[in-house]
Amino acid sequence: MRILLISGSLPPMRCGVGDYTALLAKALGKRKDATVAILSDVAAGIADQEENIEVFPIIDGWTIVDAVKILRKIRSWRPDVVHIQYPTQGYGRHVLPWLLPSLFWLLNVPVVQTWHGYYYTKLRGSLHTLPNSITPGGLVVVKHNYKDMIHPWYRWIVRRKHFQYIPNASNIPRTHLNYEERSTIRTKFASASDYLIAFFGFAAPEKGIENIFDIADPRSSSLVLICDLSSVDPMHKQFPMYHKLLLDRIHSEPWIGRVTVTGFLPPDEVARILAVADAAVFPFRDGVGERNASTSTKAAMLQGTFVVVTSRERHGYDPAENVYYAFPGDVADMQRALNLYIGRRNTKDVKYVDWDLIADAHIRHYSDVLGDKFDIEHKMSSPHE
């Protein structure tokens, strides 16, 4: 099966969906029954291509004129299925990415889309994505209750798509550190007498990062925010001063000198910081689902670090996960949990869905979308080398 993935971002570009696309391609590329390529932005570069993956970094701007480049690559590479990731940082606010499914459908090219974490809860503000919603084909979501969260009208629109929930996995690896390594890393962010509390992820308003300054105790804790912050936040124009709000808290009493903002870091470095933290706090405004944590919380849990996260479906401490679930916005509850469980470590390896299983699920989904075009043996054959 020839699979062409399309993503507006790809490493070394800074985008969680771009990281996801690269890891999915790597897992698919390990299979005997798949030939994989990625079409992406010129900023993606080609230096780190995997041996079994072709990368076409040919799109400069994602404007309508780039459609010609995309169609030429479709004709020359001849994929069995095109799989588009939404949204990505690289697409920006351009229209072309949302028109591609319709364009491919008109050309009789089978299309699968993955929708990462954006919800059509309202009709207003989401009509620009209508073309990719009505186009036939496959639809993969990474949230198990996605259909329950979208507006009923959109639920009706996508009712005939090949709908499939496929959970994501952490983009961050599990790391193992000795005592000396842990001590060296900790001293970069906290004094010997302080607790070290971490946050990891994009600094977006829905992450509720501002609550961490009220949840943690500045008299006994230091914070490390593994994210990018700038005085003006260009990614969230409806909240243009969100990063400024966070920076103001960082540079005001009682937190002056107790907060480190790392900026964007490679996955291995993220893992090492999370592994030495005494706790990781994720006060998301909407919480996480019962069946799937966010990739950020999974990254911390993989290191055995105690995690505080919000949820509308779960509450209390889970000792098997070493996670405390609090209701969104309940700062007092998160304070109590942090004081009670900070420093606890999960010494057992935490098991989650891995990328090989995710690749398996995608191959089955592609086969369902292709139907009679693809032999049933592709579903039943042993996929891994």
| Buried-state track 138-151, b at ≥16 Cβ within 10 A, e below 16 | bbbbbbeebeeebe
The phi, psi pair for 172, rounded to 5°, reads -105, 130
- Tell me the pLDDT of the chain averaged across its residues: 87
Query: Model confidence at 270, in pLDDT bands (50, 70, 90)?
Result: very high
Residue 302 has pLDDT above 70, yes or no: yes
Same-fold call for 2-169+354-380 versus 179-341: yes
- Written as six digits, the tokens of 206 are 């829905």
pLDDT at 126: 58
Residue closest to 74 by CA, chosen among 41, 49, 43, 104: 104
The predicted-structure confidence for 306-324, as pLDDT tens digits, reads as follows: 999 999 889 999 999 999 9
Sequence-distant (6+) residues with CB within 8 A of 318 are: 324, 325
pLDDT at 299: 92
Tell me the angle at which helices 355-370 and 16-29 cross, rounded to the nearest 10 degrees: 80
The answer to whether residues 20 and 12 touch, using CB atoms and an 8 Å cutoff, is no
Residue closest to 164 by CA, chosen among 361, 370, 1, 7: 361
pLDDT at 384: 46
Architecture per CATH, 179-341: 3-Layer(aba) Sandwich (3.40)
Query: Model confidence at 95, in pLDDT bands (50, 70, 90)?
Result: confident
Query: Model confidence at 122, in pLDDT bands (50, 70, 90)?
Result: low
Q: Is the peptide bond before 254 cis (omega within 30 degrees of 0)?
A: yes
H helix or E strand, kind and range, residue 85: strand 81-86
Q: d(Cα 182, Cα 190) in Å, to the nearest integer?
A: 12
pLDDT at 89: 84
pLDDT at 377: 44
Residue closest to 235 by CA, chosen among 92, 96, 95: 92
Residue type, 351: K
Render 41-62 in DSSP notation, one character per residue.
Answer: EGGG-STT--TTEEEEEEESS-
CATH tag, 2-169+354-380: 3.40.50.2000
Query: Model confidence at 333, in pLDDT bands (50, 70, 90)?
Result: very high
187, with CB counted inside 10 A (0-12, 13-18, 19+), is exposed
The answer to whether residues 20 and 85 touch, using CB atoms and an 8 Å cutoff, is yes
Average pLDDT rounded to a whole number, residues 295-310: 93
Neighbouring CB atoms inside 10 A of 161's CB total 19
The ranges assigned to domains in the chain are 2-169+354-380, 179-341
Query: Model confidence at 269, in pLDDT bands (50, 70, 90)?
Result: very high
pLDDT at 121: 53
238, with CB counted inside 10 A (0-12, 13-18, 19+), is exposed
Give Cα 9 distance to the centre of its chain. 12
Residue 216 has pLDDT above 90, yes or no: yes
234 or 58, greater pLDDT: 58
